[in-house]
Amino acid sequence: MNIQVLSETSVPAALFKDAMARVAGAVHIVTTDGPAGKAGFTATAVCSVTADPPTLLVCVNETSSVARVLTANKVLAINTVGSEFNELAMLMGGKTSLEDRFASARWTPGSQGAPLLDGAMVNFDCVTHDSHVCGTHRVMFCRVVAVRLGEVALDPGLYFNRRFRHMAPV
C-alpha cells in the first residue's frame, strides 16, 4: 500500500483526483431552465444535507457555463439515473451542444420549470437556497420542493475509477 503523507496545504490536485476516483458515486443528471436559459450536466457530487427541510448539495465547476445558468435561474432538477442512461450521462457531461443533450431523451417540466428526466429512478425538483464558491467549484444547497419516484433500476448508475460500472445482482 502506498501512503503519501503531506501537509494540509500541499496535497496536489492530481493526487486528490486520483484518490476521489476510488470513491464510487451515483450518477445524476442536473438540469435547469429559466430566464438564463436551459442547461444540464452530469454529476456525482450530489448528497443529502438534511431531511428537515429536505435539502441536497450539488457541486459544479465554477468556470463552466452551466454554473452561470444554474446560479441565475435558481431552480434545478437532480435526476438520479440507472445504467440505461449512461449514454445520456456521457452527452450531458461532455462538450455536446445543449440542444443535442436535451434532444436525446424525454423531459417533463418540473413545478419550478427545470426539466425532469422521464425514466429516472428519482427526480428531485429543487430551488437554490444558498451557494458558495469553494476553490474551483460552486457548492449549491438545494431545497427539494417536489419528488417524483420512478422505477428502481436493477442496475443503478455507478461511476467508479473514471468509468461507468455495472453492479452484479445480489
Q: Mean pLDDT over residues 48-56, rounded?
A: 97
- Map out the domains of the chain as residue ranges: 26-160
Q: Does the pLDDT at position 138 exceed 60?
A: yes
Q: Mean pLDDT over residues 31-56, rounded?
A: 96
Higher confidence at residue 36 or residue 162? 36
> pLDDT averaged over the chain?
90
* Residue 66 near residue 45 (C-beta atoms within 8 A): no
Q: Does the pLDDT at position 86 exceed 70?
A: yes
pLDDT given at position 3:
57
Block residue for cell numbers 448508475: 157
Which CATH class for the 26-160 domain? mainly beta
Residue 17 neighbours by CB distance under 10 Å:
10
Q: Mean pLDDT over residues 7-34, rounded?
A: 87
